[in-house]
Amino acid sequence: MEPRKPYPPDLTDTEWALIAPYVPTAKTGGRPEKYPKRDILTGIVSVLRRGCAWRLLPHDLPPWPIV
């Protein structure tokens, strides 16, 4: 998969380092993760900063029901 272009609400490496310990990890033996947790968090921050509807997330972020 080709890396996506950055968005203004993307988390910096420093911000991600602060938040990552609080993001739960996938359970062993379960389904593998399909979307990176950092992209999911970027989608949440995007909606909060822009004030847009969930369904209007950019197409290269995870789908809105996942976010």
pLDDT tens-place string over residues 10-27: 888 898 899 999 998 888
pTM for the full model?
0.78
Name the domain count of the chain: 1
pLDDT tens-place string over residues 36-48: 898 888 888 888 8
User: What is the extent of the structural domain holding 56?
Assistant: 9-18+35-67
Which pLDDT band, with edges at 50, 70 and 90, does 8 fall under?
Answer: confident
Within-domain flag for 58: yes
Within-domain flag for 29: no
Within-domain flag for 54: yes
DSSP character string of 11-30: PPHHHHHHHGGGSPPPPTTS
Within-domain flag for 46: yes
